[in-house]
Chains A and B, each alone.
Chain A
């Protein structure tokens, strides 16, 4: 799976949009971009994933650049409960066999939402 690069930390004011960047310049054509987050002392929580097109769900939006070398996770109205470590992962999803099911989390971005 391609390696990802994220800033170690970011701050955001409560109620504002949080934009978390991720670089994945070596991503392959069949690799998806996944985002998880981990709130302190809890298990990782799935947020969103995408391949080429921008995606939106009830939690967030995912913007993937046209060349797919980077993406941005957007939390439109951050709350204090969104303070967590956010992980960007790329993985092959539609490949038979292999070790693509082993998720590898890097260090992620610690997002701190301030009142």
Chain B
């Protein structure tokens, strides 16, 4: 079946602009996660959605970052007033429940000039 999809696959933006990254989880998966991976670094947890519960936003690095998940499916990660240090690969994952295996999308490579 279809896996996790993300768009765009690559995004180049200028410092100070806002960007929106999209994630389509695997159908039926109630849990959705956003991670960030900077060059040569490990995964950094950003935010977690589970069903209709309040999201865990504890990993968001600043208030310029926000995310929503509408209708319990598609999620959008928004970065306002982008900075060069925001350049990274943004990865989305989903799982059947929070206790199950997480499956990752291909990521969005963000470059802030």
Main secondary structure of the interface of B (DSSP, over half): strand
Contact with A along B85-107 (1 / 0, CB 8 A): 00000010101001111111111
B59 within 8 Å of A (CB atoms): yes
B1 within 8 A of A: no
Q: Which chain B residue has the least Cβ–Cβ distance from A49?
A: B101
Interface size in chain A (residues, C-beta < 8 A): 21
Pair count A-B, CB < 8 A: 53
Chain A facing B: main interface SS: loop
Given A101-B48, A104-B43, residue A34 in contact with residue B99 (CB < 8 A): no
Q: How large is the interface on B (under 10, 10 to 19, 20 to 34, 35 or more residues)?
A: 20 to 34
Query: Of the 9-residue stretches A10-18, A21-29, A40-48, A76-84, which lies at the interface with chain B?
Result: A40-48
Check if A43 sits within 8 Å of B48, measured CB to CB.
no
Please tell me which one of the listed residues B42, B105, B107 contacts residue A105 in the complex, with CB atoms under 8 A apart. Answer: B42
